[in-house]
Protein backbone atom coordinates (compact mmCIF):
# COMPACT_ATOMS: atom_id res chain seq x y z
CA UNK A 1 0.00 0.00 0.00
CA UNK A 2 2.81 2.41 0.89
CA UNK A 3 6.12 2.76 -0.81
CA UNK A 4 9.41 1.75 0.81
CA UNK A 5 9.92 3.73 3.92
CA UNK A 6 12.83 5.99 4.74
CA UNK A 7 15.91 3.85 5.32
CA UNK A 8 16.33 5.12 8.87
CA UNK A 9 12.95 3.68 9.81
CA UNK A 10 13.26 0.21 8.30
CA UNK A 11 14.16 -2.51 10.75
CA UNK A 12 16.14 -5.44 9.44
CA UNK A 13 14.87 -8.97 9.09
CA UNK A 14 15.53 -9.57 12.78
CA UNK A 15 13.42 -6.52 13.61
CA UNK A 16 16.20 -4.28 14.84
CA UNK A 17 16.69 -0.75 13.67
CA UNK A 18 19.87 0.77 12.22
CA UNK A 19 21.25 1.45 15.69
CA UNK A 20 20.75 -2.18 16.68
CA UNK A 21 17.79 -1.36 18.91
CA UNK A 22 14.92 -3.84 18.97
CA UNK A 23 12.28 -2.49 16.60
CA UNK A 24 9.66 -2.08 19.33
CA UNK A 25 12.00 0.01 21.49
CA UNK A 26 12.94 2.14 18.52
CA UNK A 27 9.33 2.80 17.44
CA UNK A 28 8.32 3.62 21.02
CA UNK A 29 11.22 6.04 21.38
CA UNK A 30 10.31 7.77 18.12
CA UNK A 31 6.68 8.10 19.18
CA UNK A 32 7.73 9.55 22.53
CA UNK A 33 10.08 12.03 20.88
CA UNK A 34 7.44 13.14 18.35
CA UNK A 35 4.91 13.53 21.15
CA UNK A 36 7.26 15.69 23.22
CA UNK A 37 8.06 17.88 20.20
CA UNK A 38 4.32 18.53 19.92
CA UNK A 39 3.94 19.14 23.65
CA UNK A 40 1.95 15.95 24.09
CA UNK A 41 2.14 13.19 26.68
CA UNK A 42 3.43 10.01 24.94
CA UNK A 43 1.04 7.92 27.03
CA UNK A 44 -1.87 9.45 25.04
CA UNK A 45 -0.78 7.46 22.00
CA UNK A 46 -1.69 3.81 21.46
CA UNK A 47 0.78 1.91 19.29
CA UNK A 48 -1.08 -0.76 17.32
CA UNK A 49 1.22 -3.44 15.90
CA UNK A 50 -0.30 -4.40 12.54
CA UNK A 51 0.32 -8.15 12.39
CA UNK A 52 -1.41 -9.06 9.12
CA UNK A 53 0.43 -11.91 7.34
CA UNK A 54 2.71 -12.34 10.36
CA UNK A 55 2.92 -15.78 11.96
CA UNK A 56 1.84 -16.39 15.55
CA UNK A 57 5.39 -16.75 16.85
CA UNK A 58 6.34 -13.27 15.60
CA UNK A 59 3.24 -11.85 17.31
CA UNK A 60 3.99 -13.69 20.55
CA UNK A 61 7.59 -12.45 20.48
CA UNK A 62 6.39 -8.84 20.29
CA UNK A 63 3.74 -9.44 22.96
CA UNK A 64 6.43 -10.89 25.22
CA UNK A 65 8.33 -7.58 24.88
CA UNK A 66 5.26 -5.81 26.27
CA UNK A 67 3.34 -4.87 23.13
CA UNK A 68 -0.37 -5.03 24.02
CA UNK A 69 -2.29 -3.83 20.94
CA UNK A 70 -2.34 -5.59 17.59
CA UNK A 71 -4.22 -5.09 14.33
CA UNK A 72 -5.38 -7.31 11.49
CA UNK A 73 -7.12 -6.44 8.23
CA UNK A 74 -8.69 -9.79 7.33
CA UNK A 75 -11.38 -11.32 9.53
CA UNK A 76 -10.68 -14.87 8.35
CA UNK A 77 -6.95 -14.62 8.97
CA UNK A 78 -7.59 -13.16 12.41
CA UNK A 79 -10.06 -15.94 13.24
CA UNK A 80 -7.39 -18.50 12.36
CA UNK A 81 -4.62 -16.85 14.41
CA UNK A 82 -6.13 -15.04 17.34
CA UNK A 83 -8.12 -17.44 19.54
CA UNK A 84 -4.89 -19.32 20.32
CA UNK A 85 -2.92 -16.09 20.74
CA UNK A 86 -5.51 -14.73 23.17
CA UNK A 87 -5.28 -17.94 25.19
CA UNK A 88 -1.50 -17.73 25.22
CA UNK A 89 -1.36 -14.03 26.17
CA UNK A 90 -4.51 -12.86 27.95
CA UNK A 91 -5.20 -9.12 27.90
CA UNK A 92 -4.05 -8.29 24.36
CA UNK A 93 -6.18 -5.77 22.44
CA UNK A 94 -7.10 -6.60 18.85
CA UNK A 95 -8.07 -3.95 16.28
CA UNK A 96 -9.62 -4.46 12.86
CA UNK A 97 -8.17 -2.03 10.30
CA UNK A 98 -9.30 -1.38 6.75
CA UNK A 99 -12.27 -2.55 4.73
CA UNK A 100 -14.91 -4.62 6.50
CA UNK A 101 -17.71 -6.40 4.66
CA UNK A 102 -21.12 -6.10 6.28
CA UNK A 103 -21.57 -9.88 6.19
CA UNK A 104 -18.50 -10.19 8.43
CA UNK A 105 -19.92 -7.87 11.09
CA UNK A 106 -20.87 -10.67 13.52
CA UNK A 107 -17.46 -12.31 13.24
CA UNK A 108 -15.68 -8.96 13.62
CA UNK A 109 -17.69 -7.93 16.68
CA UNK A 110 -17.02 -11.31 18.30
CA UNK A 111 -13.26 -11.12 17.77
CA UNK A 112 -12.08 -7.49 17.77
CA UNK A 113 -11.89 -4.84 20.50
CA UNK A 114 -11.93 -1.95 18.00
CA UNK A 115 -13.04 -1.51 14.39
CA UNK A 116 -11.31 1.21 12.36
CA UNK A 117 -13.14 0.90 9.02
CA UNK A 118 -16.69 2.12 9.64
CA UNK A 119 -17.37 3.93 6.37
CA UNK A 120 -20.99 3.47 5.25
CA UNK A 121 -24.53 3.33 6.61
CA UNK A 122 -25.05 -0.36 5.75
CA UNK A 123 -22.02 -1.28 7.86
CA UNK A 124 -23.26 0.87 10.75
CA UNK A 125 -26.55 -1.05 10.69
CA UNK A 126 -24.80 -4.43 10.47
CA UNK A 127 -22.44 -3.56 13.35
CA UNK A 128 -25.26 -2.27 15.55
CA UNK A 129 -27.19 -5.52 15.05
CA UNK A 130 -24.08 -7.63 15.62
CA UNK A 131 -23.30 -5.77 18.88
CA UNK A 132 -26.87 -6.24 20.04
CA UNK A 133 -26.69 -9.99 19.38
CA UNK A 134 -23.21 -10.46 20.84
CA UNK A 135 -23.51 -8.16 23.85
CA UNK A 136 -20.03 -6.88 22.96
CA UNK A 137 -19.28 -3.31 21.92
CA UNK A 138 -15.94 -2.74 20.17
CA UNK A 139 -14.80 0.88 19.80
CA UNK A 140 -15.59 2.25 16.35
CA UNK A 141 -13.62 4.65 14.17
CA UNK A 142 -15.19 6.25 11.12
CA UNK A 143 -12.78 5.81 8.20
CA UNK A 144 -12.54 8.93 6.03
CA UNK A 145 -11.32 8.83 2.43
CA UNK A 146 -9.11 11.79 3.25
CA UNK A 147 -7.43 12.03 -0.18
CA UNK A 148 -10.74 11.59 -2.05
CA UNK A 149 -9.29 8.61 -3.93
CA UNK A 150 -11.92 6.71 -5.92
CA UNK A 151 -10.33 3.29 -5.37
CA UNK A 152 -9.96 3.67 -1.61
CA UNK A 153 -12.27 2.79 1.28
CA UNK A 154 -13.56 5.38 3.68
CA UNK A 155 -16.49 7.74 3.57
CA UNK A 156 -16.25 10.93 1.52
CA UNK A 157 -15.32 14.01 3.54
CA UNK A 158 -18.67 15.57 2.63
CA UNK A 159 -20.49 12.54 4.05
CA UNK A 160 -18.81 12.58 7.47
CA UNK A 161 -21.58 14.58 9.20
CA UNK A 162 -24.38 12.28 8.01
CA UNK A 163 -22.45 9.09 8.76
CA UNK A 164 -21.56 10.45 12.18
CA UNK A 165 -25.26 11.07 12.83
CA UNK A 166 -26.04 7.47 11.83
CA UNK A 167 -23.31 6.08 14.07
CA UNK A 168 -24.62 8.11 17.00
CA UNK A 169 -28.25 7.21 16.31
CA UNK A 170 -27.32 3.50 16.15
CA UNK A 171 -25.54 3.84 19.50
CA UNK A 172 -22.17 2.52 18.33
CA UNK A 173 -19.33 3.37 20.73
CA UNK A 174 -17.61 6.03 18.65
CA UNK A 175 -13.89 6.48 19.32
CA UNK A 176 -12.95 8.87 16.51
CA UNK A 177 -11.77 9.07 12.92
CA UNK A 178 -9.32 6.97 10.89
CA UNK A 179 -7.62 7.57 7.55
CA UNK A 180 -4.90 6.33 5.21
CA UNK A 181 -3.49 9.26 3.19
CA UNK A 182 -2.64 8.83 -0.49
CA UNK A 183 0.62 6.97 -1.16
CA UNK A 184 3.56 8.78 -2.77
CA UNK A 185 2.77 12.15 -1.31
CA UNK A 186 3.45 14.15 1.84
CA UNK A 187 1.03 12.83 4.46
CA UNK A 188 1.08 15.82 6.82
CA UNK A 189 -1.64 17.90 5.10
CA UNK A 190 -3.99 14.90 5.16
CA UNK A 191 -3.28 14.23 8.83
CA UNK A 192 -3.93 17.90 9.60
CA UNK A 193 -7.20 17.78 7.67
CA UNK A 194 -8.38 14.64 9.49
CA UNK A 195 -7.50 16.28 12.81
CA UNK A 196 -9.51 19.35 11.86
CA UNK A 197 -12.57 17.30 10.87
CA UNK A 198 -12.35 15.43 14.18
CA UNK A 199 -12.06 18.70 16.10
CA UNK A 200 -15.03 20.19 14.25
CA UNK A 201 -17.14 17.26 15.38
CA UNK A 202 -15.83 17.02 18.93
CA UNK A 203 -14.14 13.65 18.39
CA UNK A 204 -11.10 12.75 20.49
CA UNK A 205 -9.68 9.70 18.69
CA UNK A 206 -7.44 9.95 15.62
CA UNK A 207 -6.23 6.70 14.07
CA UNK A 208 -3.55 7.81 11.62
CA UNK A 209 0.09 7.11 10.82
CA UNK A 210 1.80 3.96 9.50
CA UNK A 211 5.43 2.79 9.35
CA UNK A 212 6.51 5.57 6.98
CA UNK A 213 4.80 8.49 8.67
CA UNK A 214 3.75 7.71 12.24
CA UNK A 215 6.00 10.38 13.78
CA UNK A 216 4.40 13.05 11.61
CA UNK A 217 0.98 11.69 12.57
CA UNK A 218 1.84 11.90 16.27
CA UNK A 219 2.99 15.52 15.88
CA UNK A 220 -0.36 16.27 14.24
CA UNK A 221 -2.48 14.67 16.95
CA UNK A 222 -2.72 10.91 16.31
CA UNK A 223 -4.06 8.98 19.31
CA UNK A 224 -3.63 5.59 17.57
CA UNK A 225 -0.80 4.77 15.16
CA UNK A 226 -0.96 1.60 13.05
CA UNK A 227 2.55 0.30 12.50
CA UNK A 228 3.35 -2.96 10.68
CA UNK A 229 6.62 -3.30 8.80
CA UNK A 230 8.63 -1.01 11.12
CA UNK A 231 7.89 -3.50 13.92
CA UNK A 232 7.83 -6.86 12.16
CA UNK A 233 9.98 -6.31 9.09
CA UNK A 234 8.66 -6.89 5.58
CA UNK A 235 5.39 -8.73 5.10
CA UNK A 236 5.44 -12.06 3.33
CA UNK A 237 1.93 -11.91 1.88
Ligand X SMILES: *Cc1c(COP(=O)(O)O)cnc(C)c1O
Count of other CB atoms within 10 angstroms of residue 156 = 13
Number of residues written out for the chain: 237
Measure CA of the first residue to CA of the last residue in the chain; give whole Å: 12
Q: How far is the CB of 114 from ligand X (least distance, A)?
A: 12
Q: How far is the CB of 227 from ligand X (least distance, A)?
A: 5
Closer Cβ to ligand X, 9 or 35, answer by number? 9
Residues that bind ligand X (CB under 6 A): 2, 50, 52, 73, 97-98, 180, 210-211, 226-230
Residue nearest ligand X, Cβ-based = 228
Rounded-to-integer distance, Cα 65 and Cα 236, Å: 22
Closer Cβ to ligand X, 11 or 162, answer by number? 11
Q: How far is the CB of 2 from ligand X (least distance, A)?
A: 5
Closer Cβ to ligand X, 76 or 162, answer by number? 76
Q: How far is the CB of 169 from ligand X (least distance, A)?
A: 26
Closer Cβ to ligand X, 99 or 134, answer by number? 99
Q: How far is the CB of 209 from ligand X (least distance, A)?
A: 8
Closer Cβ to ligand X, 4 or 83, answer by number? 4
Classify residue 178 by burial, with Cβ atoms within 10 Å: 0-12, 13-18, 19+. Answer: buried
Closer Cβ to ligand X, 120 or 226, answer by number? 226
Q: How far is the CB of 9 from ligand X (least distance, A)?
A: 10
Closer Cβ to ligand X, 101 or 162, answer by number? 101
Q: How far is the CB of 147 from ligand X (least distance, A)?
A: 14
Amino acid sequence: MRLPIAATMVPHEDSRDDDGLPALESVRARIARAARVAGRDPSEIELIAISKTQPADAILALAAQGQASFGENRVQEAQAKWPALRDAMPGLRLHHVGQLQSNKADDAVALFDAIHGVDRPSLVTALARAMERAGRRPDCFIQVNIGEEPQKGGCAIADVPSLLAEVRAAGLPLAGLMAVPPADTEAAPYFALLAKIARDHGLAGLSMGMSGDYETAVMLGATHVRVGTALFGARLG
